Amino acid sequence: MLPSGAFIMTIAAKRHPIVLAVGLVLGLAACDSGSAPPQAPGPMPVTVAAPLVRDMAEWDEFTGRFAAVDSVEIRARVSGYLDQIAFEDGQGVAAGQLLYVIDPRPFEAEMSRARADVESAQAALELSVREVNRYAALRQGGNASQQVLDERLQARRSAAASVDAAQAALRQAELNLSFTRIRSPIAGRISRTNVTVGNLVSGNAGGTELTTVVSTDPIRFYFDADEQVFIRYQRMMRSIERPDAGHAVPVEIGLADEAGYPHKGFLDFFDNQLDRATGTISVRASLPNPDRVLAPGMFGRIRVQAGDAAPVMLVPDIAIGTDQTRRFVWVVGDDHVPQMRTVEPGGPVGTLRIIRKGLSAGEKIVVNGIVRVRPGAPVTSIPAHLDEDGKIVPDQPPAAPAGQPAGKQG
């Protein structure tokens, strides 16, 4: 049987369809008015743990590029046809090792001509000296005029100058001949040759670039650091002195495919001014490279010791949130209500990160589930601890939810 209201609505709907629609809305509203309101969700479960405290030296991490201590462009200093290449592309070379030979025959001929000019000038000088001596004796006896003697003295000075000029030309010819044998000025690794045998090379306007040689051991590493890091490292370099490196800050470097930092070295240079556009300064580290694994131009990761060993706090990277320029963690107290705490993070240690400021050792923070935290909303704290490897290990039993006694978990 239909309700009376429904019966009346049925009769009215036959005459007015609009009345039917209004009645349906009113009927649905009446049905909804009797349903129970939705319940608010309970406290969200999150894992909380205290920071891991460990005695260790703090390190700062940067990325940078390797560079050679010495880098030389091998260029021709005289013009001629390339006669010999005395190395293999990419091989290691020693200082003074022969690299190229330019056809020496034109320069040998020029040196012979210059040597003959020297002998001719020396003969003319000897004749001039004898004439001066003879006319000097005649002048003393009154048999020659002073003018004739002066002319002979001037001829002797001219002959001596000719000898000097001829000897200089001979030295230049000898130097040009030596330039036909091009040697490496440094020890290192050579690049490929840019010119092959039989080609003409020029010694004019800087000379033809034949190849390059770079030193490989030791090697340098350049990176950029901000102003605060620069100030801290400068103070450290003034306060420490190491027998093997003097005033130096130790560094460790790893390549892109290396898990750790197996290469050890020291900071040895800061640029003389900061870049005004970026607020950074160029910093250099030097390290040995006896096995030649490191090559100039390679990228690497460097970490720099920021201080001596001391107790530091470590928290998982996933526990640190970012709010524009701020870094923060959620601290959970006895009331199970997370409080946002601004912190100053340091360098990474595996999956953990050093916290320099903003957190105390005994405080509990959210280490898993920070996306479920809402400001002012209580959470269900699942206690855990961090082992020495930085893994989150849950404790047993879990903590009671907010506002509920232990043993009666909801």
Instruction: Output the pLDDT for position 36.
Output: 55
Instruction: Output the pLDDT for position 172.
Output: 95
Instruction: Output the pLDDT for position 407.
Output: 45
What's the first-to-final CA gap in the chain, in angstroms? 45
Instruction: Output the pLDDT for position 246.
Output: 47
pLDDT 10s digits, 266-284: 988 888 889 888 889 999 9
Instruction: Output the pLDDT for position 167.
Output: 95
Is the pTM above the cut of 0.85?
Answer: no
Nearest C-alpha neighbor of 223 from the set 302, 294, 307, 305: 302
Ramachandran assignment for 283, one of left (phi > 0), alpha (psi -120 to 50 degrees), beta (any other)? beta
Residues of the chain where predicted confidence (pLDDT) is lower than 70 = 1-41, 237, 239-248, 307-308, 397-410
Instruction: Output the pLDDT for position 400.
Output: 53
369 CB-near residues (< 8 Å, 6+ apart): 44, 45, 46, 47
Instruction: Output the pLDDT for position 41.
Output: 66
Task: Name residue, tokens 């070295």.
Answer: 265
Instruction: Output the pLDDT for position 18.
Output: 45
Instruction: Output the pLDDT for position 24.
Output: 47
